[in-house]
Amino acid sequence: MTAYDKLQESIRDNGIQIVNFCFVDLPGMWQHFSVTTEEIHDGLFKEGIGFDGSSIRGFQAIHESDMVLLPDADTAFLDPFLKIPTLNVICDVREPGLGHYTRSPRNIAEKAEAYLQSTGIADTAYFGPELEFFILDDIRFDQNEHCGYYYVDSAEGAWNSGREENPNLGFKPRYKEGYFPMPPHDTMQDLRSEMVLNCVKSGVQVEVHHHEVGTAGQGEIDLRYAPLVHMADNVMKYKYIVKNTARSNGKVATFMPKPIFMDNASGMHTHQSLFKGGTNLFYDKNGYALLSETAKYYIGGLLKHARTLMAFCAPTTNSYKRLVPGYEAPVNLAYSQRNRSAAVRIPMYQSSPKAKRVEFRPPDPSANIYLALSALLMAGLDGIENKIDPGDPVDQNMYELPEKVQNSIKTVPGSLAESIDALESDHSFLTKGDVFTPDVIETWIDYKRTNEIDQVNMRPHPWEFYLYFDV
């Protein structure tokens, strides 16, 4: 039975009335439109369905706006939230007459997998990103000509320990003490469990969920590792499910990296490994932290290109409110076993050869997952192809090293502007195999500078009034 036949069977068996075609824009948000099941036919999955690419961020100009979505029947899943029975299908983007669209993030991820196989180094790259998020009760924000503010609130917030709640039952997790407490401190247990069950029903395998370090409902749900494109598809499902499960319970979930001042932010620590013929190329029983030489070269590529990688892995101005020392933020470009102050950590939970992997810690969940994972793979492969030595590991707490030693360790960029500058000057490793084409790099740089960096820089910040109003 083909994937299309299975989709039709699912439509019949589940009383599906609407099919939802989903695709991701360049910044990383899911877009969609829907058709009735009467419009579903085999030709649609071979020829695609048209849409206006000029209305999608980072896509086409108005004079070249005709684009085509080609549904991938293998990705179909039942929507857990909509009242009308709906089947969601993830699509590839095509340019009429030209085939694959260069600025389609999913296409870039598919090309990254193809490039890996073309090198002969490995046949599969496995990824396991850990996306953290906050569950809030209220969010308000505005910025106009005469005012600018944001307001977030959560019944779990430590700042509400003295609020009249008629009654206030206490047990608000203290700042930076939200990691692993049992209920009643953890009031989000059932909600996260509901998110997990919705993920499982949607075909997304989940390993574990728990409260995270931050107060105010910070959580984490870890997905089972998977190959690059499959994992990126799962992450898009996961974010959709987390947001909508929260909303259906009268709450709001955000993957914004740093919504809470003076507490831990949300990261996306990303585990990765390369396999060939079922063998993990990162394992060596005699190596440091059980790492092979191939794994060390992969790490060398990650560290060499880390400043560029941040343009895709920490791609918002808010990302750099997280990447500061003191909040478990992995700003130091070094590697180490077990050490969470290093940008690259080697987990030591298990000694199984299949479990050996490297964890790149600077990314955050605001990333376009297709672009971030593709960039990480291309950097690692560049390290292997050019035998880039990552140097010696640093197994001490890097925040407590002598100042002279600390100053000798390179760090991630301090702002999105620095990351975009790094991408502009160092991106040839991304363009191998036409994975990231020049128009993608140019469009990303222009979009980030024009629509985000410049827009944030030109607006007064509330703290500037505290600092400068009385000058």
Task: Name 18's bridge partners.
Answer: 36, 86
Q: Which two tokens stand for residue 285?
A: 């029983």
Task: Name 253's bridge partners.
Answer: 135
Note the Cα 311 to chain centre separation in Å: 13
Contact in structure between 431 and 441 (CB atoms under 8 Å): yes
Q: Which two tokens stand for residue 299?
A: 């790490």
Alpha-carbon distances of 423 from 205, 271, 417, rounded to whole Å: 34, 22, 10
- To which residue do tokens 């993608």 refer? 440
Helices (H), ranges, 75-176: 105-119
The span from the CA of 314 to the CA of 167, in Å, is 41
Told to judge if 269 belongs to the known catalytic residues of this protein, a careful annotator would answer yes
Alpha-carbon distances of 251 from 42, 170, 215, 217, 260, rounded to whole Å: 40, 20, 15, 10, 16
Alpha-carbon distances of 11 from 199, 236, 404, 417, rounded to whole Å: 20, 22, 64, 47
CATH tag, 3-101: 3.10.20.70
Contact in structure between 309 and 375 (CB atoms under 8 Å): yes
Catalytic residue among 25, 92, 130, 364: 130
* pLDDT for residue 461: 93
Told to judge if 220 belongs to the known catalytic residues of this protein, a careful annotator would answer yes
* CB contact burial 422-448 (16+ within 10 A = b; e otherwise): bbeebbebbebeebbbeebbebbbebb
* CB contact burial 142-156 (16+ within 10 A = b; e otherwise): eeeeeeeeeebebbb
Catalytic residue among 220, 233, 263, 382: 220
377 CB-near residues (< 8 Å, 6+ apart):
112, 116, 125, 228, 272
Catalytic residue among 269, 271, 345, 357: 269
Contact in structure between 413 and 327 (CB atoms under 8 Å): no
What is the pTM (predicted TM-score) of this model?
0.96
| Alpha-carbon torsion (156, 160, 166, 170), positive or negative | positive
For residue 354, give the DSSP letter.
G
The span from the CA of 129 to the CA of 224, in Å, is 9
Q: Where are the beta strands (DSSP E) in 43-103?
A: 49-52, 66-71, 77-78, 86-95, 99-100
Told to judge if 145 belongs to the known catalytic residues of this protein, a careful annotator would answer no
Q: To 10 degrees, the CA torsion angle through 8, 10, 11, 16?
A: -160
Task: Name 33's bridge partners.
Answer: 21
Catalytic residue among 5, 9, 39, 52: 52
Q: What interhelical angle do 306-313 and 369-385 show, nearest 10?
A: 160
* pLDDT for residue 328: 66
Catalytic residue among 132, 156, 186, 382: 132
Told to judge if 385 belongs to the known catalytic residues of this protein, a careful annotator would answer no
Report which of 461, 467, 468 is spatially closest to residue 143, judged by C-alpha positions: 461
* pLDDT for residue 326: 64
Catalytic residue among 359, 364, 382, 452: 359
* pLDDT for residue 464: 93
Report which of 164, 165, 172 is spatially closest to residue 188, judged by C-alpha positions: 172
CATH superfamily of 124-468: Glutamine synthetase/guanido kinase, catalytic domain (3.30.590.10)
Q: To 10 degrees, the CA torsion angle through 137, 138, 139, 145?
A: -170
Told to judge if 361 belongs to the known catalytic residues of this protein, a careful annotator would answer yes
Task: Name 36's bridge partners.
Answer: 18
For residue 72, give the DSSP letter.
-
Catalytic residue among 361, 364, 427, 452: 361
**pLDDT tens, per residue, the chain with 471 residues:** 788 888 899 999 999 999 999 999 999 999 999 999 999 988 888 888 998 889 999 998 877 888 899 999 999 999 999 999 999 999 999 988 778 899 999 999 999 999 999 999 999 999 999 999 999 999 999 999 999 999 999 999 999 999 999 999 999 999 999 999 999 999 999 999 999 999 999 999 999 999 999 999 999 999 999 999 999 999 999 999 999 999 999 999 999 999 999 999 999 999 999 999 999 999 999 999 999 999 999 999 999 999 999 999 999 999 999 998 766 678 899 999 877 778 999 998 888 899 999 999 999 999 999 999 999 999 999 999 999 999 999 887 777 777 777 777 899 999 999 999 999 999 999 999 999 999 999 999 999 999 999 999 999 999 999 999 999
* pLDDT for residue 340: 75
Compute φ and ψ for 24, nearest 5 degrees.
-110, 135
Query: Under DSSP, is residue 290 helix (H, G, I), strand (E, B) or coil?
Result: helix
18-24 and 86-95 beta bridge pairing: parallel
Told to judge if 446 belongs to the known catalytic residues of this protein, a careful annotator would answer no
* CB contact burial 68-103 (16+ within 10 A = b; e otherwise): bbbbbbebbbebbeeeeebbbbbbbbbbeeeebbbb
Told to judge if 132 belongs to the known catalytic residues of this protein, a careful annotator would answer yes
Contact in structure between 304 and 379 (CB atoms under 8 Å): yes
* pLDDT for residue 327: 63
Catalytic residue among 328, 340, 426, 449: 340
Domain assignments of the chain as residue spans, ordered by start = 3-101, 124-468
Catalytic residue among 212, 284, 382, 452: 212
Rg (CA), the chain: 23
